[in-house]
A and B are shown apart, each in its own frame.
Chain A
Amino acid sequence: MIVFTVIFGAFKKVDLFGAFTEGARDGINALISVAPSLIGLIVGVSMLEASGFFEILTQLLQPVCDCIGIPAEVLPLGLMRPVTGSGSFAILNSIMQRYGADSIIGKTASVMAGSTETTFYAITVYFGAVGLKNTRCTIPSALLADILGMFFAVYSVRLFG
């Protein structure tokens, strides 16, 4: 993929290194702009971890999750994902530290976090930009899709992973 892109760029006479450094700078800037909230939320998640909250929550949710076929360990991530991007990355990180990035749970969590956007943020930004308060069916449709997305994530990893 990288080699292909670089050759494609050379073929199209792109200023390769100039474009690369400019894009890389965008990446660093994006990371720096989320860093403060990421640090705050990782502290929050690691406090929850140390307090034993996740064990309690997982145990409480276990019966419901067994019923619908979603591992209880990834449910907190699913609840967090539509609300905050940094928060869900903090939870994904803690899940992968605990269960391993390449375990089924780690993979499922990665797919869940990577396959959807911060729904409420997108809705607020785009409808806010044109001053629309009435969003009709947008929120229920997007949230229902996010819930279905959790199942798709679980089953795609379970079937092929």
Chain B
Amino acid sequence: MLSYIWLGMVAVSFVCALCGNHMEQLSKAVLDGADKAVELVISMAGVMSLWTGIMKIADRGGLTAIISKLLSPILSKLMPDYDSDSAAMKAVSANITANILGLGNAATPFGIAAMKEMQKTNKNVSSPNNSMIIFVIINTASIQLIPTTIAALRQAAGSTMPYSILPYIWITSVLTLISGIVIAKLFNVSST
């Protein structure tokens, strides 16, 4: 997939540069781009690791347990095919909590474990049940306390208030998540 996108970028920019007579800028942009990218990665490293470090402290201090307790009634409403103390729901809640704290590396294994547990008791082996769909939709939206990558990028781009957009991100991601769930429910209602 990415190979095609990349090929597309290179081909499109070549054609555009040819038409607009920007060939010299284009060859300069290749080298500059690589330089800029490395600078960007380095300037992001500080903010990124600061927040992942802080979130690890929160995780160790038991914030993970508190968040999953708060989430459990909502999650069992959304995924009624599974008991709230089943292995599947435990993995679901661990995945979502890790996402909220921005521990992305920890979230994916929990999510895969959750899908495997859910599939075990899925009545139709070749097609996901409604709870599995809702779970994946929750994972396509991003509910994150501190969007570290965005904050780091904004800081690197010279923002004076890299965190000022946090409330908008929270509102937007919650609204997006709710619409995803509602749309999926509507699809399911019409298909049954």
Contacts and interface: CB of A to CB of B under 8 A. Distances in A.
Interface residues of A, number: 96
A113 B15 CA distance: 28
Given A52-B22, A125-B108, A93 B17 contact: no
Nearest to B133: A138
Interface size class of B (residues with CB under 8 A): 35 or more
B110 to A, nearest CB: 11
Nearest to B4: A83
B141 A134 contact: no
Contacts of A84: 1-2, 5
B127 to A, nearest CB: 5
Contacts of A39: 34, 37-38, 41
- The secondary-structure label for the interface of chain A is helix
Interface in B37-78: 37-38, 40-41, 44-45, 48-63
Contacts of A52: 16-17, 20, 22
Interface string A16-39: 100111111111111100010111
B48 A42 contact: no
A83 B5 CA distance: 9
Interface of A: 1-2, 5-6, 8-9, 11-12, 14-16, 19-31, 35, 37-53, 56, 82-84, 87, 89-90, 92-93, 96-97, 100-102, 106-107, 110-117, 119-120, 122-123, 125-127, 129-130, 132-138, 140-142, 144-146, 148-149, 152-153, 156-157, 160-161
Which 3 residue pairs of A and B lie closest in terms of their CB atoms, listed nearest first? A23-B56, A27-B52, A46-B33
15 contacts: A9-B61, A19-B56, A23-B52, A31-B44, A38-B41, A50-B17, A93-B40, A97-B157, A106-B159, A114-B169, A119-B140, A127-B136, A136-B187, A142-B180, A156-B168
